[in-house]
Amino acid sequence: MAAGTHHIRIDRSKPLRDEPHTGHNRWHPDIPPIVSVNPGDTVVLETRDALDGAVTPAMTSADLHRVDLNLVHPLTGPVFINGADPGDLLEVHILDIAPQPFGFTTIVPGFGFLRNFFPTPFLVKWRIDSGFAMSPDLPGVRIPGGRSWG
């Protein structure tokens, strides 16, 4: 059987709750797959950021209190692999990762692994271009993207 390509597209202007057919934000075995693929197929997944679009280029750290932390970590999928059984080990090849032009680093008080150590909101907004992330919030810092996956 010839390998196929499957595309899971999202509308980044909408949160996951407005496109529930594209994903979920909690792992559970009863969540139905959004696509079934055969071994050897290629799956192109568009993904949302960790806060589901709640952080925008216009936000400041003072705005972080408005983020609904019950909706974090939206995931695209699940993907069902035809012929795979529970407990099978799957080999996955990541062919490419294409970042969006806007990203962020944040600390939200009372949230996350280090919540007891960082009580003050913090936000760095990144412009991602030509393989680098740069931010006016951290002048002089230029972070290279990951290696080529090709």
Residue carrying the six token digits 């990762």: 97
Cα 83 from Cα 116, distance rounded (Å): 45
DSSP annotation of 7:
E
Q: What angle do CA 89, 94, 99 make, to 5 degrees?
A: 140
Residue from 44, 49, 52 nearest 17 by CA: 52
Does residue 149 form part of some domain? no
Residue range(s) defining the domain that contains residue 129: 5-144
Query: What pLDDT tens digit does each residue of the chain (150 aa) get?
Result: 568 999 999 999 999 999 999 999 988 989 999 999 999 999 999 999 999 999 999 999 999 989 988 888 999 999 999 999 989 999 999 998 889 999 999 998 888 888 888 889 999 999 999 889 999 999 999 999 876 544
The three-point CA angle 71-76-77 to 5° equals 120
Instruction: Report d(CA 138, CA 58) in Å as an integer.
Output: 16
Prediction pTM value: 0.82
HSE-CB of 99 using CA atoms within 13 angstroms = 17
Tell me phi and psi for residue 37, to 5 degrees.
Answer: -130, 160
Give the gyration radius of the chain's Cα atoms.
Answer: 18
Residue 1 has a pLDDT of: 55
Q: What are the C-alpha distances in Å from 129 to residues 100, 119, 134, 135?
A: 9, 31, 8, 11
In a domain, 100, yes or no: yes
What CA–CA distance (Å, rounded) separates 64 from 71? 14
Q: Which ranges of 14-126 would DSSP assign to H, the alpha helix?
A: none
- Confidence (pLDDT) at 51: 94
Task: Answer yes or no: is 84 within a domain.
Answer: yes
Specify if 150 maps to a domain: no
CA proximity to 121, closest of 46, 41, 66: 66
Structural domains of the chain, count: 1
Residue 41 lies in a domain: yes
